[in-house]
Amino acid sequence: MRATAELALKRPRTEGEYEEALSAIVADIQATSNIVDSLLFLARADDGGELLDKKRVDLVEITRDARKRSQVLADAKRIEMRECVEAMHLWVYGDAPSLRRLFLILIDNAIKYSTSGGKVSLALDSSDGFASFEIRDTGVGISESDLPHIFERFFRADKARSRQVGVGLGLAIGKHIIESHCGTANVDSTLGKGSLFRIRLPLISTDV
């Protein structure tokens, strides 16, 4: 950011050149802000200072909201997004902003690691007292040796995925959110064919 600004100030430039420089700086600020926010989230979680406002929340509403927010990213890469949510409501005891963040992390990753023209499918249903959220992509996939480490902080997978933007904090945050909601996560993936993430969260009765 400093280099871009200093270069723009070295000599008079056209309005278009200044706009280009400012756009680059804004993008860098947003990326840096996301990293700082992620680090603060994990630091608070480690210190026990994270406050979750848990109440009865509807996963159907949260899933559809996360999908809607991610649609612009999918459109930019010409990714086809499909949604299969048959239930009217699926109630869990949780913190809505954190769960929304979890779903956004998973959806954004699926889009990021899919090539242009690929597909991302979302599914939400319930069985045996649990809500099950699945997201499948047709992206680059994850190698078998990397799979056990993908929820570790700062872990970057093989070269096919490491070319993507990121510092390896998203899934670590996702893991914390899942565990803080007494949930579980499983991942199946094949290099060159895509990945499938499954998240299970305990349901509560509608009269809680």
- In this prediction, residue 26 carries a pLDDT of 84
pLDDT in tens, the chain (208 residues): 888 888 888 888 899 888 888 888 887 887 777 677 767 777 777 776 566 788 999 999 999 999 998 998 899 899 999 999 988 899 999 999 899 999 999 999 999 999 888 999 999 999 889 999 999 999 999 988 888 888 887 776 655 444 455 567 889 889 989 998 999 999 999 888 899 999 999 998 765 4
pLDDT in tens, 40-98: 777 777 776 566 788 999 999 999 999 998 998 899 899 999 999 988 899 999 999 89
Structure pTM?
0.77
Domain ranges within the chain, ordered by starting residue? 2-47, 55-202
Residue type, 34: N
For the range 47-51, what are the long-range contacts, defined as Cβ-Cβ under 8 Å and sequence gap of 24 or more?
Answer: 50/180
Which architecture characterizes domain 55-202 according to CATH? 2-Layer Sandwich (3.30)
d(CA 80, CA 74): 7
Burial of 180 (0-12, 13-18, 19+ CB in 10 A): middle
The amino acid sitting at 9 is L
Task: Name 187's bridge partners.
Answer: 197
Q: Which amino acid is at 160?
A: A
142 contacts 189 by C-beta, under 8 angstroms: yes
Which residue is it, tokens 């959110």?
177
